Amino acid sequence: MSPFYGEITRLDLDSHLGPNMETLMTLTPERTDNELAQERRLVTAIPGPKSMALLARKTEAVSNGVGVTLPVFVAKAGGGVLVDVDGNSIIDMGSGIAVTTVGNANPYVVENVQRQVAAFTHTCFMVNPYSGYVEVCEALNRLTPGDHAKRSALFNSGAEAIENAVKIARSYTNRAAVVVVEHGYHGRTNLTMAMTAKNMPYKDGFGPFASEVYRVPTSYPFRDAPLSGLDIAKRAISRIEKEIGGTKVAAIVIEPIQGEGGFIVPGAGYFAAIAAFAKANGIVFVADEIQSGFCRTGDWFASSYEGVIPDLVTTAKGIAGGLPLAGVTGRAEIMDSVHAGGLGGTYGGSPVACAAALGAIRWMEEEDACGRAKAIESVMLPALAAMKVNHPTIGEIRGRGAMLAIELIRPGTMEPDPERTSAVAKYCHGEGVMVLTTGTYSNVMRFLPPLTMPMHLLEEALSIVERGFEATG
């Protein structure tokens, strides 16, 4: 349907791909449907004068508690770029934190949303239902790991999905305790603040927090060596058994690849061992796939890499091409254990967000989004590995698909270097490349490009990141 997103073109990825790697990449063309030239273009300083004027208004109108990473006010976005109110075109290596996986203003999403808002905008699914909600649940049941009978329920945000996964697990098990892990991130509401590890900025001053939340060790291979993922799993399991009691735990909630914690990929065996322990103890195993899901890592869901079939999966972020939507999907007997009326919310599964999700999911299926994420990885990993050779501040490169990161250390030590991380990010921002930092120690640069990123912009962004390391060395 879209002349731009529909054409499959064989790209010459020349030196980046191994000789055996046959990759079909859809070429995002010179311009997107919303007429954005796919180029990095700086016409003012970053931020420019119009953004600065809006920033002054923001300071007067918006709570100081709502921070901004890079104050360029966006006018349009699509393909691989954000265009600001001053006319600068910035390469988007963040996707609004893994949300616009299908590209900003993806035409499949735009068309579905436009059709839906013209038909009706809201009924409240709990009052008068509509088919889009059911279709999104059918898609979630089909796409999440495992072929057992599943049910889904829809919400507005990731944190709300996590809250509801905990409600469902407690209702099903008739137990109270919730186990989470070090470096975990699950949101900013009261319960999810308790489940999130990092104090600043997420929790500081916002307590008291919800009770019955327990934190156990996570596998962080870069910092655990020589211990294996399995060693750490044993340690975590022992903590649960000794300090809580396996039969007291309603749910274990874990990200298969930790997002805000620093794109930490657990060591081999960790995730599967925790899932097996949950199964043996009647604990609901919840995979928080809010950041890692929907083809971000090169598979529909990152749990699959570990061969794990979670009892419940939480989704949000990439699900609806930028509209607010979240889901909890899981075993029918667990999801159906809740009394009718026990789950819901005024806007949960809004018809407009559902229409967007159906467009986004169709695009992911038709355009081989998982293959695109893998192709992005095959360009980025060798380029980042080459950077590591020249810059000893790069301690580790990790991640999967289009969810990749660099952890920065003070050379020759394991000490995190948040200052250098922030300096490299600032350099990139000034040069028109949107990058995000993250991590418990704020020393991780993370890359989450939209899967519509044209290869020439990806390569340009990488060369600017490299220059950022050179300029701050």
Ligand X SMILES: *Cc1c(COP(=O)(O)O)cnc(C)c1O
- Name the minimum Å distance from CB 309 to ligand X: 19
Assigned token pair, 190: 């009261």
- Minimum distance from CB of 222 to ligand X (Å)? 19
Nearest CA to 169 among 253, 102, 88, 226? 253
Interface with ligand X includes 350 (CB under 6 A)?
A: no
Q: Which span (65-73, 151-159, 387-395, 406-414) binds ligand X, by CB under 6 A?
A: 151-159
Please tell me the distance from the alpha carbon of residue 189 to that of residue 202, in angstroms, as a whole number: 10
Interacting stretch for ligand X, rule CB under 6 A, among 83-91, 129-137, 153-161, 215-223?
Answer: 153-161
Q: What strands lie across the sheet with 433-434, from one edge to the other? A: 74-78, 81-84, 89-92, 433-434
Site for ligand X in 235-294 (CB under 6 A): 255, 259, 288, 290-291
Residue 316 CB, shortest distance to ligand X, in Å, is 5
Q: Does 316 bind ligand X (CB under 6 A)?
A: yes
Q: Which of 186, 296, 391, 429 binds ligand X (CB under 6 A)?
A: 186
Nearer to ligand X, 81 or 99 (CB): 99
Provide the minimum distance between the beta carbon of 157 and ligand X in the complex, in angstroms, as a whole number: 4
Residues between 202 and 231 with contacts to ligand X, criterion CB under 6 A: none
Nearer to ligand X, 186 or 429 (CB): 186
Whether the CB-CB separation of 305 and 256 falls below 8 Å is answered with yes
Backbone angles phi, psi at 409, to 5 degrees: -130, 165
Closer residue to ligand X, CB minimum distance, 290 or 369: 290
Provide, rounded to whole angstroms, the least separation between the CB of residue 13 and ligand X.
Answer: 29
Q: Is 301 in the site for ligand X (CB under 6 A)?
A: no
3-class DSSP assignment, residue 219: coil
For residue 225, is it left (φ>0), alpha (ψ between -120 and 50) or beta?
beta
Cα(99)–Cα(157) distance, integer angstroms:
12
CB nearer to ligand X: give 107 or 261.
261
Bond from prior residue into 47 cis (ω within 30 degrees of 0): yes
Q: What are phi and psi of 13, to 5 degrees?
A: -90, 15
Going by C-beta distance under 8 Å and a sequence separation of 6 or more, which residues neighbour residue 171?
337, 338, 339, 342
Angle, helices 229-239 vs 270-280, to 10°: value is: 30
Helix (H) or strand (E) holding 174: none
Q: How far is CA 269 from CA 10, 281, 301, 308, in A?
A: 37, 18, 17, 10
Q: Are strands 284-288 and 312-315 parallel, antiparallel or unpaired?
A: parallel
**157 is an interface residue for ligand X by CB under 6 A:** yes
159 near ligand X, rule: CB under 6 A: yes
Report the candidate in 232, 231, 230, 248 with the shortest Cα–Cα distance to residue 240.
Answer: 248
> Rule CB under 6 A: is residue 92 a binding residue for ligand X?
no
Q: Which of positions 130-149 make contact with ligand X (CB under 6 A)? A: none
Could you say which of 80, 94, 107, 158 contacts ligand X (CB under 6 A)? Answer: 158
**DSSP E strand boundaries for 379-425:** 394-400, 403-408
Cβ at position 134, least distance to ligand X in Å: 22
Exactly one of 155, 185, 270, 441 binds ligand X (CB under 6 A); that residue is 185
Considering only 80, 187, 267, 395, the residue that binds ligand X (CB under 6 A) is 187
Q: Which one of 28-36, 158-166, 293-301, 334-342 is the stretch in contact with ligand X (CB under 6 A)?
A: 158-166
Q: Is 154 in the site for ligand X (CB under 6 A)?
A: no
Considering beta carbons, is residue 36 or 316 the nearer one to ligand X? 316
Query: Under the criterion CB under 6 A, does residue 315 sit at the interface with ligand X?
Result: no
Residue count at the site for ligand X (CB under 6 A)?
14
The bridge status of strand 89-92 relative to strand 433-434 is parallel
Nearer to ligand X, 202 or 222 (CB): 202
Footprint of ligand X (CB under 6 A): 157-159, 162, 185-187, 255, 259, 288, 290-291, 316-317
